[in-house]
Amino acid sequence: MSRLPRQLSRSEARYGRTRKGSIRMELSNTAKWRMLKYDGSEPWEKDDDIAAEIPLTLKVDGDEFATLVCSPSDLQELVIGFLASEGVIRAAGQVKSFSIHEDTGFAYIELEHKQATNHDQYAKRFIGSCCGKSRQFYFHNDMLTAKTIMTRTKISAEQCIRFMRELQESSSDFRSTGGLHNAAIGTPAELFAIRADIGRHNALDKLFGYCLLHRLRTSDKVIAFSGRLSSEVVLKAAKIGCGILLSKSAPTDLALRLADDLGITCAGFIRGGEMNVYTHYERIDFGN
């Protein structure tokens, strides 16, 4: 029977414990940078808030698996969610040990049962903060871990609009830097976890990791997202197991074809009291 790894303290859960066991200072999603500001008059120097970015290389059972370029918050959730998204694990309890060396940028993961790596399926690769992968990548491993969603969960249109407003109002790091994606998960009644990252896929992996670490059922949950509804984002939602995906931005045609096939309700352009529902309308209650 699988077991959940030891729950870390708040500082550890966000940024890991070093191999020697010492807890490091909490890292921020923002950094200060001295810049020259020009607005049509005389330029002047000022400190600006910039989105922080770090490379994090994952070593699974001693082998290098991937390097993530990410924001330095909620790293345990990111690693757990990413490994689950890639099909390496199905539950957090399959991770025997986990540690992060922030000074060197390595995360060390030991699995309860070491897996024989299929190099065709788990090719070492660089997952950047920019978005987009080839169709070969999608149909290689992503489609093996994406779930078809059969949920009967419904949400009101008014609540969708409120969730998007709440997500934007909670995004202080985005307001100060303009460089982060935000994602939240909740029930149709309330959002209970919000995560931010420079990479949109990273923000969703952090939510996935949060759900796995807390052993949450996901089929009755809703995801609110700040970025574009790409095929990658839809696949992440399918892997998490959520059937309702909300965004303030536009979808792509491949994303909507995947959402239609995978049983995911996609609603975009949620702003100014309006929204567009593109797939599986039956989960949105318009109050008629």
**Domain presence at residue 33:** no
Residues 166 and 247 in one domain: yes
Q: Is 266 a known active-site residue?
A: no
* DSSP helix/strand/coil, 92: helix
Secondary structure element (H or E) that encloses residue 82, with its range: helix 75-85
CATH of the domain at 211: 3.40.140.10
pLDDT of residue 180: 86
Residues 132 and 223 in one domain: no
Residues 129 and 171 in one domain: no
Question: How many residues comprise the chain?
Answer: 288
Residues 79 and 191 in one domain: no
Residues 141 and 220 in one domain: no
Residues 238 and 269 in one domain: yes
Which residue, of 145, 167, 188, is where some domain finishes?
145
pLDDT tens by residue, 244-278: 999 999 999 999 999 999 999 999 999 999 999 99
pLDDT tens by residue, 74-133: 999 999 999 999 999 999 999 999 999 888 899 999 999 887 555 455 544 444 454 444
Residues 70 and 169 in one domain: no
Residues 193 and 104 in one domain: no
Residues 119 and 226 in one domain: no
* DSSP helix/strand/coil, 173: helix
**Domain presence at residue 185:** yes
Catalytic residue, candidates 131, 160, 211, 242: 131
**Domain presence at residue 29:** no
**Domain presence at residue 58:** yes
Distance between CA atoms of residues 265 and 245, nearest Å: 6
Which residue, of 121, 145, 169, is where some domain finishes?
145
**Domain presence at residue 250:** yes
Residues 87 and 184 in one domain: no
Which residue, of 145, 169, 197, is where some domain finishes?
145
**Domain presence at residue 49:** no
* Residues in Cβ contact with 213 at an 8 Å cutoff, skipping those fewer than 6 apart: 4, 7, 13, 76, 77, 80, 92
pLDDT tens by residue, 184-209: 999 999 999 999 999 889 999 999 99
- Domain housing 105: 10-22+54-145
Dmax over CA atoms of the chain, in Å, equals 67
| Total domain count, the chain | 2
One-letter amino acid at 39 equals D
